Structures are given as C-alpha cells and as structure tokens.
Amino acid sequence: MSDMNANRAFVRSDMLPEQAPPALETGVVKWLRENLFSSWINTILTLVSFALIYWVAQIIVPWAVFGIWDAGSLTECRAIRDELYGVSDGHGGGVACWAVIAERWPQIIFGFYPSDLYWRPILAFALFWVAITPVLFEGAPRQLLVVTVAFPFVAVALLWGNVGGPIAVALGFALGWAIYKFATPAIGQLAGTIATIVVPILYWILLSGYIGDGLSAILPGLEPVGSSRFGGFLLALVIGISCIVLSLPIGIMLALARQSDLFIINKSAVVFIEVFRGVPMIVWLFSASLLLGYFLPEGMDPDDLVRVIILITLFSAAYIAEVIRGGLAALPRGQYEGADSLGLDYWQSMRLIILPQALKISIPGIVSTFIGLFKDTTLVVFIGLLDPLKGLSDAIRATTEWNGIYWELFIFSGAIFFIFCFGMSQYSQYLERKLATDRR
C-alpha cells in the first residue's frame, strides 16, 4: 500500500490546454448582452427603440433612396414620380425630389457669386486647409507657416477682388512689429507693448482705408465682387472662419485682463464680457447692420458682411474669455508659484506654463463655442444676408420652378452643417487624447 502511495503523483506535471471563453463573454454577443440586454427594463427599451427606428426608417429610407434626381422643376418631378410609382397625392410626398439639389447646388454653396469666378473661393478654401495644417497638426512642415501668415490677406484679395485693402492692413501689422522690435528697448517694456497695440489700431482706423484705396487704384487687381453677392455656405464659411480665428486671441486677452490685478483693466474686461454675454446675438446683428456706422470715424463705413464679422467676433470672444477663465481658475496655485520660483516674468509664465495648461483644460468648451458660432451664422438672415438654411432656401423656393419644395433643401444644408461641426468635434477629441499626458 505504501508503494502505491509513493508512486502516485499529487502535482500536475503538464498544463491543460487553453479553453475558449464562453460564448456570452466575448465578441458581439458580449457587447449586446452588456449594452442592450443587461436587464429586463433595458431589454424592453431596446426592443421598443428598434421598433421605433424600423417604423421611421421604412418611411424615410424609401423616400430618400428612391428620390428623383433628373428634373427641371417640382412639377416635372411630381410627374415623373406619378409615372414611376403611381403616386398622385397632389403634393410633394411619396419620394424626394433631389433634382433641386442637382440643379441648384452651386447656388446653395456659392450664393450669387459670379459662376465664372467660382475658382476664387475654391482656391481660397484650398489655401485655408494648407494654412491651418501646421497649426492643427504637429508633424506638418513648419515652412507652411508662411502660408498661414499670408492666408488672411490672400483670401480677402481672392474673395472680394480687393488687392490694396489687404496690403494696407498688413502694413499695420508690420508697423506694430517694427515698434515692438525697435522702440521697446528705448521706451521700456510696458510703454512699448502699449504702443505696439495702440499705434496699429489708430493706423487701421484713420489711415488704412485711404492707403488701401490708393493702392487699389495703382495696383492691377481682380474683378471686384461685392459682399451682397456672397451667400449660402460661402457666406457661412467666411463669417465662421473669420470669427473663429479672430475671437480666440481676443478671448484669451480678455480672460487675462479679467484676471488682472489692475483695477481699470479688470473692470473694463468685466464690463465688456458681461455686456456682450448678456445681450442676445440677434440684437448685436441688428446693431451691426443699423448702428455700428454711428460709432466709426467719418468715412469709415464697412459693408454689412464686415460689420457682422466684427460684432460676432466680439460676441464670441466674450464667451471664449469665460471658457478660458475657467481653465485658468482650474489650475492649482502651485503652478503660478512654480513659475515665479523660476524667475519668469508675467508674460513668460503665461506663455510657457499657465496658458498651455489652461487651454488644454478649456478645449471642450472652446470647441463647443466654435461649433455654436458656426451654426449661428444662419442668424444673419434676419439682417438681409442670404444664409444657406433660410435665405438661399427662400430664394430658391421663390422661383416658379421650385415653389413648394422644403425638406430636400433643409436636409442638404443640415448634412453639410453636420459634416463641418462633426469634423470640429472629432478634432477636439483627437487633441484631447494627444494632450492627455496625465493619463499615460
């Protein structure tokens, strides 16, 4: 008996082969069980949701998929529909009449911009993507920053055909750089910074218009196109891009001013931010259209589009300032003390330590504000500009060919807005993941 116990192995000498996980714990089945059928109430809600989606889809999908693309008017579209599907209900139901998109998409995109000059906004839009590439993506060639700096002036020349105006404005930036570079060492940092800001502003208000007109008369230029010809998504992109690019640096300066210990600077920033945030945007749009000219110097009378860009920029900057102020307030006090311990002055600490962290914290709020701003460009319809959603849709429906069509125009415009806004949202999430150093 003892010999049998001596030869018996109590420790396994080989491992069992790996077993496949249970079917309920892997793949699609696991996801469905955990997300859709995790409890009896979730199961009921899932089934009800599927039924609702099916009911909506069986109405919308045939209407959209089997729509008519080749017709010259709504009446012709209905005749084709009746012939193909035997639908005769006296209105535009049954299937979609996408022919209005096929025929009028250039007008929805470009408004009333001259068709023989479409190459100019297309080129400006292409240059815009080249210009923002080194700003948005770290691996882009740094040489493209030349395009980034020159793009605003080139875009204005392309879109409006005004060559002298952008050059005159660029001279103001060159003037500010020259003052900061050469005058600051002689008059001191504070005085030099104030002069760098104030002198170009005075130049732009008092002299740039006359210089721009003189240069336009001398230099060969492109065919001029007035702002009244802008419309559709060209108008939305011009307003949206301009206001986004301009409002961010202004909002940063306002946020820093509101955090300042200097009484006048602090209270001026508070008044500016609260006034613009406390009044609806539509009021500022009407102010831009009707009242802004009374506050500008004599002889300086920008058109409606420029007025709208100015007021929406200031409105958006007030919201951006509060978003960034939240990021500044979220930083621990030790970050400020650490910057002081390194011997950095105010601007160095802000540029190198404080602002990068505050902007990282504020990314969701900043992008959310930008998305709202881009969608709010449709409000310009109330002051007579042809936005893509209401202004252009009404202009197309006012024609005899397409009088009575609605959903197709709204769906097309909404889809384009979704593409741009979803793109901004996705880039925001990419930037958050890239900068999430605390999670690595």
Print the domain residue range for 352: 104-113+229-439
* Mean pLDDT computed over every residue of the chain: 84
C-alpha gyration radius of the chain: 30
Phi, psi of 231, deg, nearest 5? -175, 175
Q: Kindly state whether residues 364 and 234 are assigned to the same domain.
A: yes
Q: Kindly state whether residues 346 and 425 are assigned to the same domain.
A: yes
DSSP code of 231? B
Report the domain count for the chain.
4
Q: Kindly state whether residues 169 and 70 are assigned to the same domain.
A: no
> To 10 degrees, what angle do helices 263-277 and 304-330 make?
120
Each residue's pLDDT tens digit, 403-412: 888 888 999 9
Q: Kindly state whether residues 263 and 327 are assigned to the same domain.
A: yes
pLDDT band at 439 (very low <50, low <70, confident <90, very high): low
The three-state secondary structure class of 347 is helix
The three-state secondary structure class of 68 is strand
Is residue 148 included in any domain, yes or no?
no
pLDDT score for 345: 79
Each residue's pLDDT tens digit, 76-130: 888 888 887 765 544 445 788 898 998 889 999 998 999 899 999 999 999 999 9
Is residue 344 included in any domain, yes or no?
yes
pLDDT score for 336: 81
- Give Cβ neighbours of residue 88 (< 8 Å, ≥ 6 apart): 82
Q: In terms of Cα–Cα distance, which of 379, 114, 339 is closest to 222?
A: 114
Each residue's pLDDT tens digit, 262-307: 888 889 999 999 999 998 988 888 887 777 666 666 556 667 788 8
pLDDT score for 70: 86
- Give Cβ neighbours of residue 132 (< 8 Å, ≥ 6 apart): 148
